[in-house]
Structure 1
């Protein structure tokens, strides 16, 4: 296998798009990240690294990336591909702090990275990817509203609170990313009596798919169905634009998984994140 690494998102999209779109649901994180970088939605953030694996005939057979200073993310890989990716990135981004992907690939990568750098690793979280089937919209008081520039500070605050609750370390570029998402029209509130009480976001649509993320309700507003409402109504809006809809849920949080399945989402793939000690 031959490996190519680039920091140019447009070049990478041209090189790998056909491969990634063989399974756009599985690759939702990669395709939306690439599209967001091409669209300039990430601003002055850490240099991205996009990796592709190629067969002898030059066709793409695997993909991985590291963007926004996050940890390495693995797309579909051939047998032995996780080890090859770890070898290729070990000297390029030695400061990398973890890896996420399908369980078998992420674990193989973590084992190889640990051997190369002499560090341990541990499982920090697992997630399940869901796709929307028959949507069931709950009857909850309130309405959906797109966040505007005047809401940006609240969106940044709530996104930060969500990261703290889920144990995700904050990064200096997070605030800029959220503000760019507000400017692009991708952040939404569930509002009641003129007051935002829950939040959700949709990722930039890519080839007929959009992913819902950043579903957050402040603790004092929980237990009233607002997260279900904002998610379902945003999904309904995306469906009206002829988009397929997906989202991730933390497998350690049975409440979110129950909410999403109740409104029509069905589990597909499971992913793990390993952090290096």
Structure 2
């Protein structure tokens, strides 16, 4: 990106994914764990098309200083919350940069539903949004990002074995995708059938099967980007929980990711669910940073 050396630091917005990745790619890859959501979303947009998350046109942005160095980035895929990368690199500039972004997003179009970011960044942006629009924010879910250390599979493992989902599992994956969204109280990021197709295309879901061949749990994983993958979602139907299937399939998909060359294996948990947080820590996942999803008042 060519930048006027006299220009002040500012956000550059674009609807062109290629332009955004050219500008922001090195910055996102410099901290792949903290940018995992932006990396996986932009990778999906690149592979599956710009309207995979909804009918609205995506909007991308980078925050660069006078020297052109990118120090912040966001992705918005309507109708979903804006994904805002950490503003750590901005230091004391962060509130002013957040206020500028709030103004640009408010002018870009109505209906921004909220923000998803690390806790500190989300709070800074929420204050800026309220100052700019008069609209407050409420917490939807508090999350913790974990990174896999030493994988410790559950012992003993439940009966059965893991296998990668195939096209024959399409209907099951779509149904479980929607059941998972309902269980966590969130609107799905994409249509169930599209999600199933996208994951099957690269072997992105592992099933745990009972000895009779019945699938009893699943764990998804994003494509490897910048050396990292993220486990998501992990789902066991309500009537099959408490038998160790979720832990077994998470361990299996984590091991497969490591064996395939992932430098980092990540996952998010809901901090309101102590069971899952305890389980993943027993498997060897260690806390990285807390994140939050906020909704803006309508």
Could you say which TM-score interval applies, normalised by the shorter chain?
over 0.9
Q: For this pair of structures, how many residues does the alignment match?
A: 277
Cα deviations across residues 106-157 of structure 1 (Å, max 9, x unaligned)?
1121222233333332111110000001101122221111111221121111
Cα deviations across residues 152-183 of structure 1 (Å, max 9, x unaligned)?
12111111111111111246635423332223
Given the superposition, is the C-alpha separation of residues 18 and 66 from structure 1 closer, same or farther in structure 2, using an over 3 Å criterion? Answer: same
TM-score, normalised via structure 2 length:
0.88
Given the superposition, is the C-alpha separation of residues 125 and 134 from structure 1 closer, same or farther in structure 2, using an over 3 Å criterion? Answer: same
Determine helix, strand or coil for the equivalent of 1:215.
strand
Bigger CA radius of gyration:
2
2:99–2:132: 8 Å Cα contact kept in structure 1?
no
Query: Which residue of structure 2 aligns with residue 63 of structure 1?
Result: 73
Structure 2: gaps (5+ residues): 1-8
Query: Which residue of structure 2 aligns with residue 6 of structure 1?
Result: 14
Query: Which residue of structure 1 aligns with residue 275 of structure 2?
Result: 255
Cα deviations across residues 66-100 of structure 1 (Å, max 9, x unaligned)?
12632011102222232222122112132111111
**Aligned mate of 1:114, from 127, 130, 149:** 130
RMSD of Structure 2 on Structure 1 (CA): 1.7
2:79–2:113: 8 Å Cα contact kept in structure 1?
no
Structure 1 range deviating more: 5-14 or 236-245 = 5-14
Query: Which residue of structure 2 aligns with residue 135 of structure 1?
Result: 151
Determine helix, strand or coil for the equivalent of 1:21.
helix
**Separation in structure 2 between the aligned mates of residue 47 and residue 163 of structure 1, nearest angstrom:** 23
Structure 1: gaps (5+ residues): none
**Aligned mate of 1:157, from 138, 155, 175:** 175
Determine helix, strand or coil for the equivalent of 2:197.
helix
TM-score, normalised via structure 1 length:
0.94
